[in-house]
Structure formats: structure tokens, C-alpha cells
Amino acid sequence: MYMQFSSIQRRVEKPTQGKASKLAKRVIASESRTILHVFLDFIFYAPAVIACLDVRTNDKGDLVVTKGDQYDVREQTKENEVRNLGKPVELAGQYYKDGADEVSFLNITGFRDFPLGDLPMLQVLRHTSENVFVPLTVGGGIRDFTDANGRYYSSLEVASEYFRSGADKISIGSDAVYAAEEYIKTKVCNTTSLKLCKDRKEQLRTNF
């Protein structure tokens, strides 16, 4: 929620003495604070429901929504197939109809291949954005990449393509950790703060 508040001040005649001037300023400041408190009393904060869908390609090459059990997304059957909970576009639409405030796609195998070559994921974003009118977030595979021809793509280019395909936000994981590591390496870690640099979670909490 974004809000802008402008204080309303009444006109005060120019005082003739310094003490009167200070008193007038205090009156104006007091009135402004009162108006702000009245405004804030009408604001109701509610929790946001974010539907997060883990997506990946199954053995048939279809992009499906899945759910891991201790990171294991395969069924405990003879076929050992990827657990398939449904199609990403359809499930996103259903969550939207059910009242979700935001839908997030996490491509859990996006790190394996060139993300800009992942046409199914880009198509999922395009089709979802046509029918789901809440913020769409996508994560997975947003990183610097060099393709087989030696062409370098920055993580910004990858993120830009996701935005053009319909995403409103992106979610980054490993790059945020690497950025924190570099920041700590050059700016923070010293003899007094070395204990703050023990693990990545602490790095993220400290720097971001």
C-alpha cells in the first residue's frame, strides 16, 4: 500500500515576538499530528495470500506444478514419475478466482538450462497474465548465462524477458547470496564482524 499524507495548516497571523512564533509553530505541528492520527485510524491492514507454485518439466517434457517431499518431487511408484498436481496456468487461474492476492511461479529446475530458451515457462507467464489480474512473480534461473555460441546474457536481460512476458516481480535466490558474499568480502568482514559472516542466511539478513 502506498499512501501520501499532506498536513493541513491553518493560517496564523505573523507574531510580533519570538515566543509567540514558537507557540504558533507548535500549534500547527500539533494540528498536523492530530489529522495524521485520524487518517491512520481508518487504515485496515490485512494479511496477503500469496499462492506459490513450484513448476518443473516432467519426463514427458510438459511443464507441471509439483510438490516436493524433502526436495523429492517424484512419486514413490514403479514409474517414479514427477509428481503432477496440475497445469500452471489453470492452477494460477483457480487461485486467482479463489481470492489470492498474488501468484508466484518458482521454476525449480530453471537453473539447469538457458532461461531465455525455456519457452514453456515464458508461455505460462504470457497466458497467465491474460486472465490473472493480481501481481505475478517468477523465480528460478535468473542469473548470468553464456550460451553454446559464447553469447553472454546478464541476469538483467533474463529478468527483462520475464517482465516482457507478463511477470510483475522476480524472485532471486542464489544471486542475492552471491551479492551478499561479495559485499561482505569487500565491505564488512573484519576482525570485529567476522562472526557475522558465518553463513549465507546471516549474510542476507545483515546486508539486505
pLDDT digit string, tens, across residues 99-109: 999 999 998 87
Cβ–Cβ < 8 Å for 100, 51? yes
Closest of 161, 169, 110 to residue 138, by C-alpha: 169
Asked if residues 111 and 140 have their Cβ atoms less than 8 Å apart, the reply is yes
CA dihedral 118, 127, 57, 93 (to 10 degrees): 150
pLDDT band for position 201 (cuts 50, 70, 90): very low
Categorize the per-residue pLDDT at 5 as very low, low, confident or very high, splitting at 50, 70 and 90: very low
The model's pLDDT over 31-76, given as tens digits with 9 standing for 90+, comes to 555 665 666 666 666 788 999 999 988 888 888 888 877 667 787 7
Phi, psi of 55 (to 5 degrees): -120, 150
Give the burial class of 142: count Cβ atoms within 10 A of its Cβ; 0-12 exposed, 13-18 middle, 19 or more buried.
buried
Share of the chain above pLDDT 90, in %: 23
pTM of the model: 0.61
State the average pLDDT for the chain: 73
Residue 99 backbone phi and psi in degrees, to 5: 105, 15
Name the pLDDT band for 202 (thresholds 50, 70, 90): low
Neighbours of 20 (CB within 10 A): 13
* CA–CA dist 56, 208 (Å, integer): 28
122 has pLDDT over 80: yes
Which of 180, 177, 189 lies closest to 207, judged by CA?
180
* Domains detected in the chain: 1-45 (no CATH), 50-171 (3.20.20.70), 176-207 (no CATH)
